[in-house]
Structure 1
Amino acid sequence: MSPSINIEAALAGITEHWSPKVVGRVNDQYVKVAKLLGQFVWHKHDDEDELFQVIRGRLRIQFEDGSETTLSPGEFCIVPRGVMHNPVADEECCILLIETVTTKHTGDVETPMTRSIEQQLA
């Protein structure tokens, strides 16, 4: 039996923006929580879809075609594999992510904001 996970408690332990933490695993998918603030980095994941669900705040996700979607608490968006995107949080936002265990944090881009899976598991 797996213990229950309190999302709010998991978020309370996060002190760094854009640094997701793994809180669970379902088959080949990690369940992560993160706090976001500001603009991230334009990137894509060639082989994996990515799910963003807003817990608190608002999140804009910009897409390479010039469109964007804005998520409020309780809403989620699935970014399909291969789609260039850039998450933006104008004010602090708390999210839940579901990503394949092979998903690199910043996809095809390496930046100082990139976090390894080892850092996300800590």
Structure 2
Amino acid sequence: MPVTKIKLHETMTYREHAITSKSFSRKLGIDLPFAMYAMAAGESISAEQSTLTRLFEVIDGTLTIQFADESQQTVATGEMLVVPANTVHTLLAAQPCQFIQFETK
């Protein structure tokens, strides 16, 4: 596979009252999930979990990740949060937010 450069800030645009996403796995020729999301203010992705460890890196804005035990972590631009496999979590955007989600074993 050739060296590939992705301009993340130019990849996604915000849409009012919407969540947009783009998977990079096929384009990059990788087997594990790798996607970027843009969430409008007030949007959320309800409780989910994965058998893989998830890494969330915020590119723009702030993302709040709430866990089943009601605890939460706020992840700001330039920060990454690691969520262990099989951990139930909800994603919340109080303000517009762009982030990358990697999954790994």
After TM superposition, is the score higher than 0.5? yes
Paired AA for residue 6 in structure 2? I
C-alpha deviation, 1:15, in angstroms: 4.6
Distance in 1 of aligned mates of 2:15 and 2:33? 20
Query: Structure 1, residues 68-107: CA drift from partner, whole Å, max 9, x if none?
Result: 000100001111111111010011101111125xxxxxxx
Percent identical among aligned pairs is 26
Residue 44 of structure 2 is aligned to residue 43 of structure 1: no
Residue 24 of structure 2 is aligned to residue 23 of structure 1: yes
Instruction: Identify, as 1 or 2, the structure richer in strand.
Output: 2
Question: Which residue of structure 2 aligns with residue 112 of structure 1?
Answer: none
**What are structure 1's unaligned runs of at least 5 residues?**
101-122
Q: 1:62–1:85: 8 Å Cα contact kept in structure 2?
A: yes
Matches within 5 A, 1:58-73: 58-73=62-77
TM-score (norm 2): 0.79
Which among 79, 89, 92 is matched to residue 88 of structure 1? 92
Query: Structure 1, residues 7-52: CA drift from partner, whole Å, max 9, x if none?
Result: 111124x65843321235474323321101322201211x111111
Q: Runs (4+) of structure 1 moved beyond 4 Å? A: none
**What are structure 2's unaligned runs of at least 5 residues?**
none
**Given the superposition, is the C-alpha separation of residues 2 and 15 from structure 1 closer, same or farther in structure 2, using an over 3 Å criterion?**
farther
TM-score (norm 1): 0.69
Length, aligned pairs only: 98
Question: Which residue of structure 2 aligns with residue 56 of structure 1?
Answer: 60
| Cα RMSD for the two superposed structures | 2.1
Q: 1:33–1:95: 8 Å Cα contact kept in structure 2?
A: yes
SS of residue paired to 2:19: coil
